[in-house]
């Protein structure tokens, strides 16, 4: 089977973030980047499905030149080839715009399955996979823990609220958005890293994919969140901070 | 010109976030001077629609069809799309539930429109309506506006508005508008099967008055006893953010957050938890929140009453000792 995995490159978890001079995005100057975590789980699921059923795993990523590093890492883990939608202004696109580009790159390839993470750690919209399914005219399901491929169909385990799950069946091709944590992520092997160097990364531009769609949503301003509470911070060494905290817990919060 | 609030039900039971979103809709309607309507979709929803009609609304729509008995993205998208084409609202609001995440973006895309999801509020900025949402796991906020003509789609995060602020109908309940939608079984491509739970032992963290929760900062399972020692000295239940349970370091039923339990204890002590949105929605109702984290910019400090910026591996043993002494 042919599986597409749409991945995104996002700032490293725990990066210090500050709005940039435009006030409409964050300052990326000193940031390092990595694969969006839920997308790493989507890639892992794809690689496991390929191991079971054979076929091909193709990585799809829209982003600037630096995204090539994340694409290369996905190839080193075992993806067969990649399509890089080269764009420097990903931030200017909304979900519909990005999903249109991704779908345009996927459509002529006619994959059996398209996987992506349930949301990105940067924007966190959680919509791209669902919108891609609509644009491609295929069924989808979101927040998936596990996927079992049968003849021409797929059975998935979907996470619901409050500890509930549901099995859902649908015909292929389909789009699934994957939840984090459902598999153990693999590391790239030395052999994998070596092999990745000769794997194909096809670079395409937005105009080659029919151009971006009209913008339907715009980020007006990015800012550090306003505190909803005044936090009293206890200073000093560990012992002194712990003692101050315990005193509060005893005499003000009254839980001791 | 109207605001449509799409309420969520499952098996004849309201999703509690439906009323929070209705409160948001009523407030937005008052701010924009637009009438507010509400819709509920499903099978056998007469009673629910009647209950919605007791709220302050210009209209209540009951979208009823046998094929809407179990939720499917295809069924619900087609049904709500038909309603939207009929009543032409300018803004469509949803609660940001798992179900809405599954179908509302598809609905917006089908109409060539955008959706701003997981919003925590809205405001009018020099005449322009902006929706406020969190980005980067809660580390930044953003104002997002719609471009082009409506309908505009938005969903509100759990707890962003208060259900007890829903205004009741003045002058008795409104009549219910029944909508019959065209829906054929072949339009529905997914087949929903059984619902099930996996957790065997029932740890009901919602009843725990004191909770000590650990996050990624705990680093390794062999460090968990240090947190358990704090919990024991405090007489608290131990809980965790999602990554800890995904790793199997603590059982799934001890997970707090959007996919785990939602708690409101007297005290929530967060150890090495950064405060990603998915975790915070499960615990922000705690009466007192204490955060201990090495990163002073961690979003958990935005909601913490007390905090220590430092290494949890130094503070946990010190805290366990001080707690013992205080007893």
Interface test with A, best of B192, B319, B322 (most A CBs within 10 A): B322
Chain B residue with CA closest to A19: the answer is: B140
CB-nearest to A161 from B97, B242, B314 is B97
- Cα A145 to the chain's mean position, in Å? 15
The token duo for A35 is: 């694969």
pLDDT of A42 reads 98
A173 cis-preceded (ω within 30 degrees of 0): yes
How close does chain B come to A108, measured CA to CA in Å?
20
The two counts, helices (H) then strands (E), for chain B are 9, 17
Which residues on neighbouring strands pair with residue B256, listed in sequence order? B261
CB-nearest to B106 from A124, A133, A243 is A133
Which residues on neighbouring strands pair with residue B40, listed in sequence order? B7, B62
**Which chain A residues are within 8 Å of B142, Cβ to Cβ?**
219-223
CATH architecture of the domain covering B3-187: 3-Layer(aba) Sandwich (3.40)
Cβ proximity of B257 and B278 under 8 Å: yes
Alpha helices in chain A (DSSP H): 37-53, 67-77, 95-106, 128-136, 190-196, 238-251
Cα dihedral B263→B267→B270→B275 (10° resolution): 50
The token duo for A89 is: 């202004």
pLDDT of A228 reads 73
B151 cis-preceded (ω within 30 degrees of 0): yes
Query: Does A255 contact B309 at a Cβ distance shorter than 8 Å?
Result: no
Query: How confident is chain B (327 residues) per 10-residue block, as mean pLDDT?
Result: 95 94 97 96 96 96 96 98 96 97 98 96 88 94 94 95 94 87 96 87 85 97 97 96 93 90 94 94 94 94 95 97 91
Q: Where are the domains of chain B?
A: 3-187, 205-326
Q: Count the neighbouring beta carbons within 10 Å of the beta carbon of residue B41.
A: 24
**Which chain A residues are within 8 Å of B246, Cβ to Cβ?**
180-182
How close does chain B come to A198, measured CA to CA in Å?
34
Query: Does B148 contact A216 at a Cβ distance shorter than 8 Å?
Result: yes
The token duo for B155 is: 């969903």
Beta-carbon contacts of A164 under 8 Å, excluding residues fewer than 6 positions away, are B195, B196, B197
Helical (H) or strand (E) element with B111: none
Chain B residue with CA closest to A128: the answer is: B105
First to last CA, chain A: 60
Render pLDDT for B56-95 as a digit per residue (tens, 0 to 9): 999 999 999 999 999 999 999 999 999 999 999 999 999 9
**Which chain A residues are within 8 Å of B191, Cβ to Cβ?**
168-170
pLDDT of B1 reads 84
CB-nearest to A163 from B253, B304, B325 is B253
pLDDT of A214 reads 84
**Which chain B residues are within 8 Å of A13, Cβ to Cβ?**
137
Q: Looking at the domain that runs over B205-326, which CATH code has it been given?
A: 3.40.50.1220
Identical fold for domains B3-187 and B205-326, yes or no, is: yes
**Which chain A residues are within 8 Å of B302, Cβ to Cβ?**
225, 227-229, 231
Tell me how far apart the alpha carbons of residues A103 and A132 are, in angstroms, rounded to a whole number.
Answer: 6
CATH class of A2-209: alpha beta
pLDDT of B201 reads 59
> Which of B315, B323, B226 has its CA nearest to residue A256?
B323
Per-residue pLDDT tens listing for chain A (256 residues): 999 999 999 999 889 899 999 999 999 999 999 999 999 999 999 999 999 999 999 999 999 999 999 999 999 999 999 999 999 988 889 999 999 999 999 999 999 999 999 999 999 999 999 999 999 999 999 999 999 999 899 999 999 988 889 999 999 999 999 999 888 999 999 999 999 999 999 999 999 999 877 899 999 999 998 877 789 999 999 999 999 999 999 999 999 8
Tell me how far apart the alpha carbons of residues B321 and B78 are, in angstroms, rounded to a whole number.
Answer: 60
Interface test with B, best of A17, A92, A122, A127 (most B CBs within 10 A): A127
**Which chain B residues are within 8 Å of A12, Cβ to Cβ?**
none
**Which chain A residues are within 8 Å of B193, Cβ to Cβ?**
155, 166-169
How close does chain A come to B171, measured CA to CA in Å?
37
Query: Does B102 contact A223 at a Cβ distance shorter than 8 Å?
Result: no
Q: Where are the domains of chain A?
A: 2-209, 229-256
**Which chain A residues are within 8 Å of B245, Cβ to Cβ?**
181
% helix / strand / coil in chain A, to the nearest 5?
Answer: 30, 30, 40
Burial class (CB within 10 angstroms; exposed 0-12, middle 13-18, buried 19+) of B63: buried
List own/partner pairs for B279-285 with CB under 8 A and 24 or more apart. Answer: B279/B215, B279/B241, B279/B242, B280/B138, B281/B157, B281/B158, B281/B159, B281/B257, B282/B256, B282/B257, B282/B258, B283/B211, B283/B213, B283/B256, B283/B257, B284/B159, B285/B159
Sign of CA dihedral A36, A7, A86, A217: negative
Beta-carbon contacts below 8 Å between A and B: 261
How close does chain A come to B238, measured CA to CA in Å?
16
Tell me how far apart the alpha carbons of residues B46 and B63 are, in angstroms, rounded to a whole number.
Answer: 10
CB-nearest to B74 from A13, A139, A233 is A139
Tell me how far apart the alpha carbons of residues A136 and A159 are, in angstroms, rounded to a whole number.
Answer: 24
Chain A residue with CA closest to B327: the answer is: A256
How close does chain A come to B19, measured CA to CA in Å?
17
Chain B residue with CA closest to A242: the answer is: B319
Cβ proximity of B15 and A164 under 8 Å: no
How close does chain B come to A200, measured CA to CA in Å?
31
Q: Count the neighbouring beta carbons within 10 Å of the beta carbon of residue B281.
A: 21
Tell me how far apart the alpha carbons of residues A142 and A158 are, in angstroms, rounded to a whole number.
Answer: 7
Q: Count the neighbouring beta carbons within 10 Å of the beta carbon of residue A184.
A: 10
Tell me how far apart the alpha carbons of residues B176 and B132 are, in angstroms, rounded to a whole number.
Answer: 32
């Amino acid at each position: 089977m042919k599986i597409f995995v749409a991945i995104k490159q996002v700032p490293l978890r725990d990066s210090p973030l500050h709005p940039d001079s435009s006030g409409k995005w964050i300052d990326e100057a000193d940031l390092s980047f990595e694969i969006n975590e839920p997308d790493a789980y989507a890639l892992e699921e794809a690689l496991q499905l390929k191991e079971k059923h054979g076929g091909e795993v193709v990585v799809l990523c829209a982003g600037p030149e630096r995204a090539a590093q994340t694409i290369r890492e996905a190839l080193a883990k075992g993806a067969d080839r990649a399509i890089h939608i080269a764009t420097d202004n990903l931030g200017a696109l909304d979900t519909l715009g990005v999903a249109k580009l991704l779908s345009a790159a996927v459509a002529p390839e006619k994959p059996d399955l398209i996987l992506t993470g349930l949301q990105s750690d940067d924007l966190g919209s959680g919509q791209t996979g669902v919108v891609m399914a609509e644009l491609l005219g295929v069924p989808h399901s979101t927040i998936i823990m596990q996927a079992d491929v049968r003849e021409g169909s797929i059975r998935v385990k979907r996470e619901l609220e409050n500890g509930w799950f549901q099995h859902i069946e649908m015909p292929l091709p389909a789009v699934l958005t994957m939840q984090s944590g459902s598999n153990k992520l693999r590391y790239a092997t030395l052999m994998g890293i070596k092999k990745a160097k000769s794997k194909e990364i096809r670079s395409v531009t937005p105009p080659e994919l029919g151009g971006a769609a009209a913008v339907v949503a715009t980020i007006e301003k990015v800012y550090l969140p306003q505190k909803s509470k005044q936090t009293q911070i206890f200073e000093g060494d560990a012992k002194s901070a712990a003692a101050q905290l315990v005193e509060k817990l005893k005499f003000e919060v009254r839980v001791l | 010109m109207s605001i449509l609030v799409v309420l969520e039900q499952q098996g004849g039971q309201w999703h509690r976030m439906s009323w929070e979103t209705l409160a948001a809709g009523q407030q937005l309607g008052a701010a924009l001077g637009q009438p507010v309507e509400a819709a509920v979709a499903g099978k056998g929803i007469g009673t629910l629609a009647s209950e919605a009609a007791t709220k302050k609304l210009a209209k209540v729509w009951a979208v009823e069809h046998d094929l809407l008995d179990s939720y499917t993205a295809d069924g619900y998208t087609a049904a709500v799309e038909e309603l939207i084409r009929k009543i032409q609202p300018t803004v469509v609001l949803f609660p940001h539930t798992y179900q809405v995440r599954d179908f509302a973006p598809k609905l917006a895309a089908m109409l060539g429109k955008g959706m701003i999801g997981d919003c925590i509020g809205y405001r009018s900025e020099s005449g322009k309506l902006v929706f406020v949402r969190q980005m980067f796991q809660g580390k930044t906020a953003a104002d997002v506006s719609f471009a082009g003509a409506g309908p505009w789609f938005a969903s509100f995060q759990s707890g962003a508005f208060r259900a007890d602020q829903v205004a009741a109908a003045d002058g008795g309940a409104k009549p219910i508008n029944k909508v019959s939608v065209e829906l054929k079984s072949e339009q529905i491509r997914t087949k929903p099967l059984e619902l099930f739970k996996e957790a065997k032992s029932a740890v009901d963290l919602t009843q725990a008055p004191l909770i000590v929760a650990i996050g990624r900062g705990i680093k390794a399972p062999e460090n968990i006893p240090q947190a358990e020692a704090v919990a024991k000295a405090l007489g608290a239940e131990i809980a965790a953010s999602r990554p800890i349970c995904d790793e199997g370091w603590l059982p799934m039923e001890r997970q707090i957050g959007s996919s785990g339990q939602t708690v409101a204890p007297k005290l929530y002590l967060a150890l090495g938890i950064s405060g990603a949105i998915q975790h915070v929605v499960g615990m922000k109702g705690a009466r007192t929140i204490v955060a201990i984290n090495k990163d002073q910019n961690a979003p958990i400090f935005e909601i913490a009453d007390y905090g220590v910026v430092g290494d949890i591996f130094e503070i946990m043993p010190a805290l366990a000792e001080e707690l013992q002494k205080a007893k």
